[in-house]
A and B are shown apart, each in its own frame.
Chain A
Amino acid sequence: MTSLPPPAAKKLGLVIDLDICVGCHACAVACKEWNDGGEFGPLPDENPYGAEPLGVWFNRVHSYEITPSPLAGEDGAQRKERGNTPMTVHFPRSCLHCETPDCVSVCPTGASYKRVEDGIVLVDEAKCIGCKLCSWACPYGAREYSEVRGTMQKCTLCVDRIYNESFEEIDRQPACVMACPTRARHFGDLGDADSAVSKLVAERGGYDLMPQMGYKPVNKYLPPRPRRDGCSSAPKPAQDEKTDFSTASPLLRWIDKVLSR
C-alpha cells in the first residue's frame, strides 16, 4: 500500500557532517559495492567499460564553491573578520527517507513503500513496473532507474546490514557510514531525542534540505563551521618576544648580536 503509514516513533536515518566531508567518494563506492552484491542487488551498469558508462548509484558526492555574500548591516572590518574566501563544501546526496515522501504515494503499484517499523523507504522489485513517476516526485534525486533491470532503484539504508545478525554488532551500520574515513557520516534513530545522532543534530544545528517541499526529510546535514579569512582572528605567532640575553653566556650573546643584525 503506497498510502503513507502513520508517523512512527523510530526514524532511522543518516546525519552527514559537511564540515569534515572531504569529498573522497568512499561512501559512494562502498555503497555501490555493497548493494551490487547485497539483497537488493545487482546494480548493473550499461556499457561499464565503454566510452560512456551509465549505471545506478544510491549515493552521489557533489562539490560546491560558496562565495560569501555581504550580510545586512555588516561593515568592511566585520566582513573581513568573518571571512571572504570562497569555501569548498563536499556534499554527499542520497535518499533522505522522508517522513511524508511523495515518491511513495505517487507509486501506482504499491512497489514503493515506507516501512512502519523504522521509516525506511524501499522499493519492492517484484512489484515495480518501472513507470519512473517516483523519481519525478523526488526533489533530492534519490531514485535512479535501471534500464537493465527495468525497475527503480534507491538507497535501502543498508537494511540488509543494519539488522543482519550474522554481523558483529559494530558492523550493523550502512556501508557508507562504515567506509567514511573522516567519520562525516553517522547512522542512528532520529526519532529518539536521546540518541547520539539526535544530540549531534541539536548541538551542531543539523538542518533539512529543501524544507519548503514539505517532505520532512529524516536525514540531517550538519553545516560547515565558519571559516576564518586568512586566519585573521587566529592566535598570531609571537613576533616581538623579549628574551633576556644579559645573563646568557658570552657565546650566546655574540650569536644573538649577529643574528639580530
Chain B
Amino acid sequence: MRPAFSVIFFTVMSGCGYGLLFLCGLALTFDSALFGRIEGLTLLGVGAVFVVAGLLASTLHLGQPQRAWRAFSQWRSSWLSREGVASVASFVPILALSWCLWHGGDPNGVHALGALLALLAVITVVCTAGIYTSLKTIPAWHNRFVLPGYLLLGLLGGAIWIRALHGLLDDGNPRFAVGSPGLTWLIATLALASWLLKRAYWNSIDTAPPAATPESATGLGRFGAVRSVEAPHTEKNYLTHEMGFALARKHAVRLRAVALILIGPLPIVLALATALLVPRSPTLASCTAIAAALLVTAGLFVERWLFFAEAKHVVMLYYGGARS
C-alpha cells in the first residue's frame, strides 16, 4: 500500500496524543491533585495538540475535505466514522479537566473525568486500529498483532512524551520529576513489550499462508497455474498506484531493524540514563528525556511507514502480483 504521509502522521501523532492523554487520565482517576496547574494544562494541551494535528493531517488525505463532517454519521458500521466520533468526544473530558485544573474542581469530578478521558483515549485508538484490522483484503493489517500494536506503541509514545515534558517543566515537584522511577519502569516495560510485539508481528506476516492467489482471484486454478500475460492498461492506474506500491520493500529488513532499535532498546537505555543523570546533571537528564521522545517518535514514523509500505493488497494478484 502507498504510504501516504498524511495518514502516517495522523496515526503516529494521534497514537502518541491518546497514549499521553490516557496516562494523564488514568493518573487523575487515582490522584486528582497529582499535577499542578501548569503541568496538568501542559500535558493535556500537548496531548490535544498531537491529536488535533493528527486529525487535521488526516483530512489532507481527503479528496473533498470540506465534507469531512459527514464522516461522523456512519458510526454504526464504519470504524473510520467511529474513530472520528470517539476522537471528538474525547475533547469533552479534555476541556472539562482543563477547566478543573485551572479553577480547582471537585476531586470526585476530576476522578470521574480522568477515568472518562482514559476510556475515550483507549476507544479512539481501538477505532483507529479497527480501520486497518477490518480490511480482509490486506492480510498484513487483518492480523491479530495490529490492534495491540496500535495500543502499545501509542502508550509508549505517550509515556516518552510525558517524560520529555517533565524534562522541560521540571520545577522541583517530586511527583513530577524527570527522573521519576515509576515512569522509568513504565517506559522500559512498554519499550520491551513493543519490541517483542513488533517482532511477533513481522514474523506473523512473513510466515502467514496467502489469503488469496492468482488462481483463487480469477477462479481459474482448476485449469492450472495462472500467469498475467497482458495488463488491461499500458499506463498505471489508481489501483496500481495506490495498492501496487513496492518501492520500499527492498529496504524492509534494514528499516525493520531501525524501527526495532528506536522503539525497543533505545528508549530503555535512555530512560535508565535519564534516571541516573538526574542527581548529577538535571539539565542533561532533561535533554536525554527530550532526545528520547524525538527518537522514539522517529522510530514510530519508520514503523508506521513500514506498516503501509509492506502491506500487500489482494487486488494486485490480478496484475500479476505474487501471492498475498
Contact = CB atoms under 8 A, between A and B. Distances in A.
Given A52-B235, A133-B131, A141-B239, A213 B70 contact: no
Interface in B310-324: 313-315, 318-319
B227 interface: yes
Contact of B74 (A56, A66, A107, A151): A107
Interface string B161-187: 000000000000000000000000000
B218 A91 contact: yes
Interface in B218-236: 218-220, 222-233, 235-236
Contacts, number: 205
Interface string A130-153: 111101111111001111011100
B233 A60 contact: yes
B32 to A, nearest CB: 36
A2 interface: yes
B62 A130 contact: yes
A140 B313 CA distance: 10
A87 B226 CA distance: 9
B279 interface: no
Most chain A C-beta atoms within 10 Å of own C-beta, residue among B63, B70, B135, B212: B63
A194 to B, nearest CB: 25
B112 interface: no
Interface residues of B, number: 59
Nearest to B225: A67
17 contacts: A1-B77, A57-B233, A60-B237, A62-B228, A62-B231, A62-B318, A63-B228, A64-B220, A66-B220, A87-B223, A106-B79, A106-B135, A107-B77, A108-B71, A131-B61, A139-B315, A210-B216
A89 B62 CA distance: 38
B242 A131 contact: no
B313 A105 contact: no
Interface string B81-93: 1001000000000
B73 A149 contact: no
Interface in B1-35: 1
B211 interface: yes
Given A54-B237, A129-B71, A64 B218 contact: yes
B265 interface: no
Contact of B73 (A104, A106, A110, A133): A110
Interface residues of A, dominant DSSP: loop
B235 to A, nearest CB: 5
A137 to B, nearest CB: 6
Contacts of A55: 237
B272 to A, nearest CB: 41
Contact of B236 (A52, A149, A221): A52
B37 interface: no
Given A106-B80, A108-B71, A54 B236 contact: yes
A213 B219 CA distance: 13
Interface in B129-144: 131, 134-138
Interface of B: 1, 61-65, 67-68, 70-74, 76-81, 84, 131, 134-138, 211-212, 214, 216-220, 222-233, 235-239, 241-243, 313-315, 318-319
Contact of B67 (A61, A109, A135, A207): A109
Nearest to B240: A141
B223 to A, nearest CB: 5
A144 B68 CA distance: 20
B219 A223 contact: yes
Given A87-B223, A138-B315, A139-B137, A109 B230 contact: no
A189 interface: no
Nearest to A127: B70
Contacts of B71: 108-109, 129, 131
B235 A223 contact: no
B237 A57 contact: yes
A214 to B, nearest CB: 7
Given A93-B318, A139-B313, A144-B239, 4 more contacts: A65-B229, A107-B77, A132-B242, A133-B80
